[in-house]
Structure 1
Amino acid sequence: MSVSRLNKLVFLVLLIVLFHSSYAQPWKESLEEWIPKEMERSFQGIFYNIDPPGGIPGSVTAADSHYQPDYYYNWIRDAAITMDVVVTLYERATEPAQVKKLEDILKSYVHYNYIIQRTPNPTGNLTTGGLGAAHYLLNGSAFTGPWCSVENDGPALRAVAVMRFAKEYLRRHGDLSYVKKWIFNNETHPPTTVTRADLDYIAKVWPDPCCGPWETFFVVHFWDQLLVRKALLQGSKFAEMLGYMDASSYYLKQAKELTSNMSKFISHVHGVVLESIDAPRDTIHETFMDTSTILAVLYGYNDDGFYAPENPYVMNTANLLRLIYKDLFPVNRRRTTDEGVLFGRFPNDNYDGIATGNGVKGNPWFLCTLGMARYYFELAKRFSEYATLNISSRWMLPLLEHLQTSYFKLNPSMPSTFHVGETLQKPQLCQIAQALLTEADKILYSVYRHVPDSGMLTEEINRYTGFEQGAKNLTWSYDSFVTAVWSRNYSFNTFRTNCVLV
């Protein structure tokens, strides 16, 4: 074959790749038609990864992936996020058989975690820091390989999920003696229950550095701090409910100290929430901008106004992440007007789902992208609920102005500009809420375009081709799709109830 013919063939192949990457998923159906099908596929993925082959009851694999990468382990964080989804299903269940099945899954999860909490690992044992281990083998054995493995988000997320289960279990007339035997009692030397161990651990170690959600930097992370705060506050109320007042007071005291320490994550110069303030300023994480700050709000907000979705710094962080990623990934630069932005972990990510290191470029992640969609749905719900809202900070303006430019610039009922100190009235809030719902749906559209017909969700989307990449059947990706759609349903219902557009 001549060089010219070879060059033409290469060019043709590149054109085909570019064409298919721009239209990775043919739009054979509308978003409304696709969502229920992908919900069903996501639940299949979640429950397949609970009690997986080779695992003991209660274990949850992070992904059905054994090689490049090997994620066939029980990550404490990922498993807790998954079980939080199961608890929601348990709360909503009405059929006795379904209630029993979900209850058995959750009890097995509690028992599995009781076992691994007492399994010595490279970070320690039950009383010497072992609860900070990132992950375990599915059979309950310790992972002994090299890893960034002091992770305080796992115990916090696990505590929240198990407390939710316990409260619903008791509401359904479950046995209090079960809760005190397995979940929480007053025995502390050593703790003999799962959630008591978790809460005592995070109450002690919250000021310390750890590896964070991406397991890249050993520093103090916003993500961990907000999750631990929520767990301690809810743990205080849970201990009080069970009559353990000393524990309740201790957790509340630690939560208040943590709360007073969290203003340091605000950059008043740039108007954003920083992922951390003490990470090394190198080429990997030089901006301190990270999608995990928005995920922290989703998983760690405690419904008390502290770092709420409408917090000006949170709003501006979300908007700045959109501005960063819309041009960073080539696949985003080819998106249609119907598509939203695909989001990665942080701008200079050097892990692509298979390899990591110098010269490796990160990709969009499903869980990050779906998390951003969920954030916009949550923000839309809150704007729908307000009767009025004051623009209290200039850092609210960039996102509001983006929505104005993109969605309602021709609407005569909306102001041409927004101003600090201005009080938004109900019609304006409803217009903003509608724009946020549209923005979130566009992000879901982008996800749809990059999911194959099988509905399988991996960890990542290739930044160039738009095809799936990395660990297949990632449990957290399925969790993220389910929770994003739940937020979507709730937000649209809230909008319809509270907003009559003029």
Structure 2
Amino acid sequence: MKLSSVAAALLLTLATPVFSVPLERRAAESSGDSSVPTTSAAVSATSAASSSSAPVASATPADSELASWIDEETTFSQNGILANINPEGSVTGFITASPSKDSPDYFYSWTRDSALTIRSVLHMYNTSPSDDLVAVLKDFVTFQINAMNTDTVCDCLGEPKFNADGSSYTGAWGRPQNDGPAERATAMILIANALNDNSSYVEDTLTPAIKQDLDYVVETWDQTCYDLWEEVNGLHFFTLMVMRRALIDGASFLSDDSYTSTAQEIETKLDSFYGDKDYIEVTQQLSGGADYKSSGLDTSTLIAANVAGLGDGIYTPGSDKILATSLAIKEVFSDLYAINADSNSTGLSYAIGRYPEDKYDGLGTSEANPWFLCTLAFAELYYRAIDEWKSAGSIEVTDASAAFFQQFDSSAVSGTSYTADSDDFNSIVQAVAAEADTYFARVQKHASDNTMSEQIDRDSGEEVGAKDLTWSYAAFVTAAAAYNGSPSA
């Protein structure tokens, strides 16, 4: 089914919020015009954003204004995602990375981007089910199964991108990218769990595809491949994290413990990425591609915690080494871009890029820029961390995380413990939530008329790179879900 034409038309009408969301611990509710015409898919997108309450601390007018904008931008982002699914001229289930076909040409379906995007759609469905969203989920499955059985240059499931007609891209590219099959397996498992009343579809269509991807992960997990940014051939923290999640999810879904042993091997390898620099270094065994990432700092480590954390404390958003890495990344970007000069005093975070040595400017190689999705990764990480700490009932400060917590409590040292519902615990949670909000505020400043491209110009603050980047919108949906106290699966 084709939803994109309706969704694209809706984008023009969403300059103001179209629903209200009750907000915990705030004095005011955000609300807006509910008269915008919708299809049932758009109604589902709207309802999904309004179903839960934000665990934020204070009730200032500024908080209320930001909350209202987050509601507004969530609706816009959800419809932005739908506009990029099944666009005109594509086969069923094609999710374009961007509608941009020139300077740059992003009119392709990347396995990774599509899998992460469909998880945002799945969050919309889980919050407010509809037949239209079921159709979108099944369209994704149709396209991906076809892709898995299409001839590719790498002759493997790690082929990174596909054309709008469903054929594989055959030009020169960084391949394989072995995070894709892992992310796709997790997405399909989540879809299977959501559609568990449709046993024949799960058993006959989803299960064989899931097993095919998981077996590929088992076969390739310790082999070098290109990273999620498509620039470096090596062994990557991000790729290993999504592989571990896929295998653990798969072991549970298929009742097959054989996948668990490989997941345990990956856990051991992950521990080796944190060393003397006191943060997670993103890549080991560099064997090709860009050779200038000397710091090892990369926002993908935080994205990995958001999309692949399993609530078990192993590199989850609230875990000590992830928090330490977030501080190191924040500090390295603090003065890298001219637009960050207005941070702190104005309630804005630093704009965050992919990694400090980055050279990709959205068209070619020069001086790189901040990315919307990287900036949003911080907001999502901190709200997910808050949810994690509340579930655990305490926050435990370690050697690794002490510097992070000293941003909010100068007396924090290794061994400090904050117990849930104590004044100190609440103070830390409120301070981290306030920090998270500054990343939303940064995005708000640069999202022109609610749109989000790939990047933000480092000097002017204008949007650059691929327009209406699907991954930017998907990142906003998941960050807003965490803000609203219901992190996506």
| Category of TM-score, reference length = shorter chain | 0.7 to 0.9
Say whether 1:122 aligns with 2:153. yes
Q: Does structure 2 retain, via aligned residues, the 8 Å contact 1:332–1:342?
A: yes
| C-alpha displacement of 1:65 | 0.8
Say whether 1:488 aligns with 2:483. yes
- Could you say which residue in structure 1 is the equivalent of 2:217? 202
Write out aligned runs for 1:71-220 (5 A): 71-94=106-129, 99-124=130-155, 130-170=156-196, 173-174=197-198, 176-184=199-207, 193-220=208-235
Q: Does structure 2 retain, via aligned residues, the 8 Å contact 1:381–1:433?
A: no
Q: Does structure 2 retain, via aligned residues, the 8 Å contact 1:383–1:432?
A: no
- The 2-side partners of 1:295 and 1:35 are apart by 20
Structure 1 residue runs of 4+, over 4 Å off? 280-283
Q: Does structure 2 retain, via aligned residues, the 8 Å contact 1:325–1:343?
A: yes
- The 2-side partners of 1:218 and 1:64 are apart by 28
Residues 359-410 of structure 1: per-residue CA shift (max 9 Å, x gap): x11100000000111111111223344433332x222111111123xxxxxx
- The 1-side partners of 2:472 and 2:383 are apart by 17
- Could you say which residue in structure 1 is the equivalent of 2:444? 448
- Could you say which residue in structure 1 is the equivalent of 2:14? none
Q: 1:314 to 1:274 in 2, by over 3 A?
A: same
| C-alpha displacement of 1:261 | 2.0
Q: Does structure 1 retain, via aligned residues, the 8 Å contact 2:112–2:183?
A: yes
Normalization by structure 1: what TM-score? 0.81
Say whether 1:272 aligns with 2:279. yes
| C-alpha displacement of 1:103 | 1.2
SS in 2 for 1:218: strand
- Could you say which residue in structure 2 is the equivalent of 1:328? 336
Q: Does structure 2 retain, via aligned residues, the 8 Å contact 1:380–1:434?
A: no
- Could you say which residue in structure 2 is the equivalent of 1:409? none
Q: 1:334 to 1:231 in 2, by over 3 A?
A: same
Say whether 1:47 aligns with 2:82. yes
- Could you say which residue in structure 2 is the equivalent of 1:345? 354
CA RMSD, 1 decimal: 1.8
Q: Does structure 2 retain, via aligned residues, the 8 Å contact 1:380–1:491?
A: no
Say whether 1:291 aligns with 2:299. yes
Say whether 1:355 aligns with 2:355. no
Give the counterpart of 1:378 among 384, 404, 416. Answer: 384
Say whether 1:418 aligns with 2:453. no
Once the two structures are overlaid, the 10-residue window that deviates more, 51-60 or 216-225, is 51-60
Structure 1: runs of 5+ lacking an equivalent: 1-26, 125-129, 185-192, 241-247, 405-415, 493-502
- Could you say which residue in structure 2 is the equivalent of 1:364? 370
Residues 196-221 of structure 1: per-residue CA shift (max 9 Å, x gap): 21111111100011111101110000
- The 2-side partners of 1:87 and 1:75 are apart by 18
- The 1-side partners of 2:354 and 2:184 are apart by 23
Write out aligned runs for 1:395-406 (5 A): 395-404=400-409
Q: 1:44 to 1:387 in 2, by over 3 A?
A: closer
Q: Does structure 2 retain, via aligned residues, the 8 Å contact 1:283–1:348?
A: no
- Which structure's residues are more often helix, by fraction? 1
- Could you say which residue in structure 2 is the equivalent of 1:413? none
| C-alpha displacement of 1:428 | 1.2
How many residues align structurally? 421
- The 1-side partners of 2:408 and 2:165 are apart by 49
- Could you say which residue in structure 2 is the equivalent of 1:430? 426
Normalization by structure 2: what TM-score? 0.83
Q: 1:308 to 1:169 in 2, by over 3 A?
A: same
| C-alpha displacement of 1:328 | 0.8
Write out aligned runs for 1:50-61 (5 A): 50-61=85-96
| C-alpha displacement of 1:57 | 1.1
Q: Does structure 1 retain, via aligned residues, the 8 Å contact 2:302–2:322?
A: yes
Q: 1:448 to 1:77 in 2, by over 3 A?
A: same
- The 2-side partners of 1:379 and 1:311 are apart by 8
Residues 33-90 of structure 1: per-residue CA shift (max 9 Å, x gap): 2222211211111001001122111110001111111110000000001111111222
- Could you say which residue in structure 1 is the equivalent of 2:465? 470
- The 2-side partners of 1:477 and 1:273 are apart by 24
Say whether 1:249 aligns with 2:284. no
Give the counterpart of 2:474 among 473, 479, 487. Answer: 479
Looking at CA atoms only, which structure, 1 or 2, has the larger radius of gyration? 1
Q: Does structure 2 retain, via aligned residues, the 8 Å contact 1:377–1:491?
A: no
Q: Does structure 2 retain, via aligned residues, the 8 Å contact 1:383–1:430?
A: no
SS in 2 for 1:342: coil
| C-alpha displacement of 1:154 | 1.1
- The 2-side partners of 1:104 and 1:388 are apart by 41
SS in 2 for 1:490: coil
Structure 2: runs of 5+ lacking an equivalent: 1-61
Once the two structures are overlaid, the 10-residue window that deviates more, 79-88 or 252-261, is 252-261
Give the counterpart of 1:222 among 206, 219, 237. Answer: 237
